[in-house]
Structure 1
């Protein structure tokens, strides 16, 4: 299957046939495991997050986006990471912070590496397939229903920006 890839702000990369590793398991902050594959058939927005970052307020936008589109099938997956030294010390602290401050009920992983040699297999394959590695907290990766990367966005792109919602709307309309 031909997949289209875009890098930061929809810069076109071309077509490829290799698959993004969507079956790699993430540990859920609620216990158990999560995998992009469990949401095949649905668009997924994967966001590396941090609780002590200037962009942390984007948690509100992520939850609002999830609330607006979840009935239509959108999944928003938060991946807390301390790769930029701005995450709380424990998974329990992250979970409590997100629930108390932002009312988060979207799927969330435990604190996870998103870059470097210790990057989670999903992020390692993202880099290998698209060249994209999060450069800061709250970088976003939009994945279509088949598990292909549609676009990536930097921290400055709010979760509810037209650049993101137009793509989501297009995926949901085409179902």
Structure 2
């Protein structure tokens, strides 16, 4: 971990408090009408950081959280909270990180550099996708084209506002929530949304439109 990364990790709680005070990157969007996708996300595949490829069809029956990430960002410490969320909902939730260099060049590392950084510093065990583009453009990752196009997902056009934007897919492949970066993966809104409908975790998701 570089000196900058250590500094960012140390000040992370203050950064989150500041962004919430300034109401920056705090939006939560909910599919309140239960709009269904026009195209199935299960038809898509993801090239992984390790050279393998996974099909999202393998995760039918689980919730899936898709998150764009970076190693040199004020939100990078959320890798730790994502791992905690992943462990808390073991076998009921899949998390896939999508490293990207779209915001202020905060992810310059190679796929191998990113994998080593995540494993050593945060103990990440959930899958990492190959580094790609997540913002709207001709090069946008197909997963994020689906997530940010209502003609595909049924309702949402919101692209990542910064690193560590989070999209939640339910057990049937419906996009249910978008969480801005300042919404912690272990925050009440996210935990309730992930736990909604799960046996023994029956609280309904809450949030802001």
Match of residue 156 from structure 1: 182
SS in 2 for 1:165: helix
Q: Any idea what SS the aligned residue of 1:164 has?
A: helix
Listed as ranges, the matches of 1:38-57 within 5 Å are 38-57=58-77
Structure 1: any 5+ residue segments left out of the alignment? 1-7
Cα distance in structure 2, aligned partners of 1:150 and 1:59: 22
Tell which structure's C-alpha radius of gyration is larger.
2
Q: Aligned partners of 1:69 and 1:50: how far apart in 2? A: 23
Cα 1:100–1:119 shift into 2, 3 Å: same
Q: Secondary structure at the match of 1:150?
A: strand
Residue deviations 1:17-40, cap 9 Å, x none? 513534222111122112322201
Measure, in 1, the Cα distance between the counterparts of 2:39 and 2:74.
33
Question: Displacement, 1:122?
Answer: 1.4
1:126 corresponds to 2:147: yes
Query: In the comparison of the two structures, how many residue pairs are matched?
Result: 167
Q: Which moved more, 1:120-129 or 1:136-145?
A: 120-129
Matched, 1:168 2:184: no
Within-5 A mapping of 1:56-135: 56-71=76-91, 73-84=92-103, 85-115=105-135, 116-129=137-150, 130-135=156-161
> Cα distance, 1:98 vs. partner?
0.5
RCO comparison, higher one (Cα < 8 Å, 6+)? 1
Q: Which has the higher strand share?
A: 1
Unaligned runs of 5+ in 2: 1-26, 151-155, 203-209
CA distance in 2, matches of 1:153, 1:127: 13
Superposed CA RMSD in Å reads: 1.9
CA 1:22 to 1:112, structure 2 compared with 1: closer, same or farther past 3 Å?
Answer: farther
